[in-house]
Structure formats: C-alpha cells, structure tokens
Amino acid sequence: MLNEHAKLLAVFKQTGEIVGRKKLQKLIYIAKKMNFPFFEKYQFHFYGPYSEELNLRMEEMCHLSFVEEVREKKAGYYQYRYTLSEQGDEFLNLSNYELPEEKGILNELNEQSAKFLELVSTILYFDDLPKEEVADKVYTLKAKQNYTETDLEEAYQFIDRLKASSQGQVS
C-alpha cells in the first residue's frame, strides 16, 4: 500500500529533518541518480530538476499527517521544514519498507546547502553531455546563481564520492 509514499517516509526517518522544499527535491533527484529506487518523474525547472509528482506526494503526506510541515518566514520567502510524524512512523512500520542503505548518502546530501545540491543535480541532469557543455548549461541556465569553476569542480568531486559510496551500498 502506497509504496512510493513509504519510501519518502523512510528518507525522513533516516535524515531526521529536511529544511527547504528545494533541498528535498534535489536530494531525492540525486539519490535517484545514484540508483536509489525512487520513481518520481523529474523535469528541468527554474532551480534545476524538479518533480511535480514529489511535490504533490509531499502535500498528500502532510494532509495525512504522516509528515509534519513547519512554515517559517525568511527574508522575502517562506521556508518549509519537514519531519516524520508519529503517524507516519506507524505507517512506515506497517508498510515494512526499508531503504537500501541505513545511513550515508542521504545524510551526506542533507548536510549540503540547497544551492550546492542545485548545482550537483543540474550537473547530473546533463550527464549525457561532455563536461564543457555541462559547464555552458550551468552558466547559461543558472546565471543568477553565479557558480564559479571552483564550485563546479567541487560538485564533480562530490558526485564522484557519491558514486563510489553508492556502488557499494545501493542494489
């Protein structure tokens, strides 16, 4: 029953709290690219890969009180914090769903800033292109974020580390 919902609940169980919708979107996308079994459909949007399906699923889980959502006012925008609720935990236990790894990649992703995850997910979105073309895409489509060459290099190193970890842990 609601297996895809259960997977997301398992993410909250593992990471504790995820701050920001953008971070959540990118975290799931990157995990998916690392062969985690998420099937939410992504398209390229304003901040990079984005899934309307994931967004709606989160809304469902908030309505069902499986996930607690706290809205905080920030300078010029609202930010959302997400945690697993008691009811969500109960549902997760009943569904018997377990993520392919206990700790590691998801926590590591959650420790990064949303801006950095936006860059990493954008690079992964264009992973069929040569590096120079990826850089062109980043500088053109993300002009307002002012990513530097060093940022890109750091993102590539991060991706390499993720790939190395995921090969051992995700089946």
Interaction site with other proteins (CB under 8 A):
1-2, 5, 20-22, 25, 39, 41, 43-47, 50, 52-53, 56-57, 59-60, 63-66, 77-80, 87, 90-91, 94-95, 126, 137, 140-141
CB of 42 to other proteins, least distance (A): 9
Closest CA to 57 of 80, 77, 73, 41: 41
Pick between residue 96 and residue 148 the one whose CB is nearest to other proteins: 96
As measured in angstroms, the least distance from the Cβ of 171 to other proteins is: 16
| Class of residue 49 by CB neighbours under 10 A (exposed 0-12, middle 13-18, buried 19+) | buried
Closest CB 103 distance from other proteins, rounded Å: 26
Ramachandran class of 36: left when φ > 0, alpha when ψ lies in -120 to 50, beta otherwise:
beta
Please say which residue, 79 or 169, places its beta carbon nearer to other proteins: 79
Q: Which two tokens stand for residue 39?
A: 């099937």
Question: In angstroms, what is the minimal distance from the CB of 162 to other proteins?
Answer: 21
CB of 37 to other proteins, least distance (A): 10
Residue among 60 and 154 whose Cβ is closer to other proteins: 60
φ, ψ (nearest 5 deg) of residue 5 = -65, -45
Residue among 65 and 157 whose Cβ is closer to other proteins: 65
